[in-house]
Structure 1
Amino acid sequence: MSGQDAATALAARAVMLWEAASAQAREDGDTDPVRIVIGLVGAPGSGKSTLAEKVVEHLQAGVDGGERCPAVVVPMDGFHLADAELERLGRRERKGAPDTFDAEGFGMLLLRARAVGPGGAPVYAPEFRREIEEPVAGAIAVTEETRVVVTEGNYLLLDSDDGPGEVAGRWSTARLQLTESWFVEVPDDVRRARLVARHAAYGLAPAAAAAKALGPDEQNARLVETTRERASLVVRLDG
């Protein structure tokens, strides 16, 4: 499936999920607005970030000529630990592994983002900036009008069975906030080529870019693949 076709179909699905959640809330006597959280999961280089942005573009514009559905992307990457902290912990060379993120902070942010009420203040999320390889606080606003939060990242479906419980278990709060999770995959050769090109674009020499893509990135990709069966659906992109 092409990325454009996938974005169109997934945006329509998000609207359906939001409408179902709203109907259930009304049935339960809840008059507050409803907000849902959709998680796009996939290995590094799978295209989940691009797909998340396209889904939100469709929602903002209105799906199939329908009303716009206010939405925003809140990426997991904003919760990278700062390089200085990774150095202190001795994890700088493994940046991108599960224990190099503030998993608990990410989960609590999604918990806050799900809540919505009249006159609610914005919930601010950090954004990872590749040009500086650091997160920037307060760069993304989940406003009162937001109805769909699309989050994306490698480890949204990680469970304590997937590694040391102290590390993997920290992701459980984030996972529990997801209305649905969509696992994004592309052919491995496409994914690896994208990673090499990405690393080179941000300053790594060709050999170093390949080493990172085929070393730490590939190790993380294999871990992410083990969580595939937990997703609500699998989205296979052509590349």
Structure 2
Amino acid sequence: MTASSSPVDLAVLAARVIDSSQARSGRYLLGIAGPPAAGKSTLAERLRDEVNAKLSQSTAEIAPMDGFHMFNADLDRLGLRALKGAPQTFDVEGYVAKLKQLHTEAEVGWPAYDREVLHEPVPDAITIGPDIGIVITEGNYLLLDQEPWAQVRQILHAIWYLDEPLDVITDRLRRRHLAIGRTPEQAEVKIRETDLPNAVLIEAGKGNADLVLLS
């Protein structure tokens, strides 16, 4: 697949989502992929709100991949705490199973990730009810070719890739790490040893996106 590229125009993107969802029966599942700190969560929220405004009803909701971080106790047990955020630190099997449920079940409980206090997943923090016909799931590894991540592409109807320059995401990551209490030295280590290698891995899947969004 050769992905087309487009600037972020919310009105155009929302119309695209609505047209795609109305062309099929059942829930429409859209993925937004991209490197850490690219702005995926912000885009997903703005897109959801734009879709709901255009349709004058709350039919779109977000089902974030972040809720499938492994719990910190499990990361410690597996010796993966320092790599938190890498592909192997997520419950991808659980994520795939929940995505499949969105196709088959009217109501699905969805986990969220608490970035403010717990820094842990919170089970069933989001309810995707029967009135939700459009689900936007955003996360780093939706286009990863490794199993079982590769199953995600088979479940979603479309995946967009949000592109950002490396210097922009590096600056955002630095501010994010400092905001949660890391020292400047710890922030630089985390960026160098985890975040940027993950960004390179994620970018390798960009050519498989249905649409590449340019900032």
Q: TM-score, normalised by structure 2?
A: 0.92
1:196–1:213 CA contact under 8 A, matched in 2: yes
Q: Describe how 1:75-90 pairs up with structure 2 within 5 A.
A: 75-90=64-79
Show CA shifts across 1:69-120 (max 9, x none): 601111111000001001111111111111100101101101101235xxx3
CA distance in 1, matches of 2:187, 2:9: 29
- Partner residue of 1:182 out of 157, 160, 170: 160
SS of 1:37's equivalent in the other structure is strand
CA distance in 2, matches of 1:126, 1:154: 16
Paired residue for 2:53?
A: 61
Show CA shifts across 1:176-235 (max 9, x none): 111110000112111110010011111111222222123210010000000101100100
CA distance in 2, matches of 1:191, 1:61: 30
Root mean square deviation, CA, Å: 1.8
Paired residue for 1:97?
A: 86
Q: Describe how 1:151-190 pairs up with structure 2 within 5 A.
A: 151-159=137-145, 168-190=146-168
The one-letter code matched in structure 2 to 1:19 is: Q
Percent of matched pairs sharing the same residue: 40
1:35–1:115 CA contact under 8 A, matched in 2: no
Paired residue for 2:169?
A: 191
Unaligned runs of 5+ in 2: none
Paired residue for 1:108?
A: 97
SS of 2:150's equivalent in the other structure is helix
CA distance in 1, matches of 2:170, 2:187: 10
Paired residue for 1:49?
A: 41
- Partner residue of 2:115 out of 130, 146, 154: 130
Q: CA deviation at 1:12?
A: 1.3
The one-letter code matched in structure 2 to 1:125 is: W
Q: CA deviation at 1:2?
A: 11
CA distance in 2, matches of 1:8, 1:44: 25
Paired residue for 2:63?
A: 74
1:139 matched to 2:125? The reply is yes
Paired residue for 1:213?
A: 191
2:114–2:122 CA contact under 8 A, matched in 1: yes
Q: CA deviation at 1:8?
A: 2.5
1:184–1:236 CA contact under 8 A, matched in 2: yes
- For these two proteins, the number of residue pairs brought into alignment is 210
Greater share of helix residues, 1 or 2?
A: 1
CA distance in 2, matches of 1:53, 1:192: 22
The one-letter code matched in structure 1 to 2:187 is: A
1:231 matched to 2:209? The reply is yes
Rg larger for: 1
Paired residue for 1:203?
A: 181
Q: TM-score, normalised by structure 1?
A: 0.83
CA distance in 1, matches of 2:127, 2:149: 22
